[in-house]
């Protein structure tokens, strides 16, 4: 099997979705463990002050996803150029 070209938009979409989901999960874990640690250290934060964290949980993954989309698009265009120069990329697949 030989890869001669990849779809830049498709690759950018997949990369952005994966990055957005992973960023959301990581931020959720950081906030969860941060909250647990803060409660153990008796460093309680009033509920009104946590709105910045909630906004961060929504906005940061979206920004990361958009930035990843742009760079994945550029990267896939570079990959396509390189694949044209070298005549494709051979991949050996086993069907077992």
Q: For the chain (length 96 residues), average pLDDT per consecutive 10?
A: 88 94 92 77 64 79 94 94 90 83
DSSP state of 4: -
Nearest by Cα to 69 from 20, 5, 28: 20
What is the tally of structural domains in the chain? 1
pLDDT given for residue 4 in this prediction: 86
77 lies in some domain? yes
35 lies in some domain? yes
pLDDT given for residue 63 in this prediction: 94
d(CA 37, CA 85): 53
Is residue 65 within 8 A of residue 17, CB to CB? The reply is: yes
95 lies in some domain? no
pLDDT given for residue 48 in this prediction: 57
Domain carrying residue 25: 2-90
pLDDT given for residue 45 in this prediction: 63
pLDDT given for residue 67 in this prediction: 96
pLDDT given for residue 92 in this prediction: 84
**Residue 59 CB: number of other CB atoms within 10 A?**
10
pLDDT given for residue 30 in this prediction: 86
pLDDT given for residue 22 in this prediction: 95
96 lies in some domain? no
12 lies in some domain? yes
10 lies in some domain? yes
73 lies in some domain? yes
């Amino acid at each position: 099997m030989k890869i001669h070209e990849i779809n830049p938009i498709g690759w950018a979409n997949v990369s952005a979705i994966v990055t957005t989901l992973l960023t959301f999960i990581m931020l959720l874990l950081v906030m969860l463990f941060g909250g647990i640690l803060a409660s153990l250290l008796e460093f309680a934060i009033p509920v009104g002050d946590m709105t910045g964290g909630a906004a961060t949980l929504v906005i940061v993954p979206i920004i990361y996803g958009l930035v990843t989309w742009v760079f994945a698009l550029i990267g896939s265009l570079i990959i396509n150029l390189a694949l044209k120069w070298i005549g494709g990329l051979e991949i050996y697949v086993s069907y077992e």
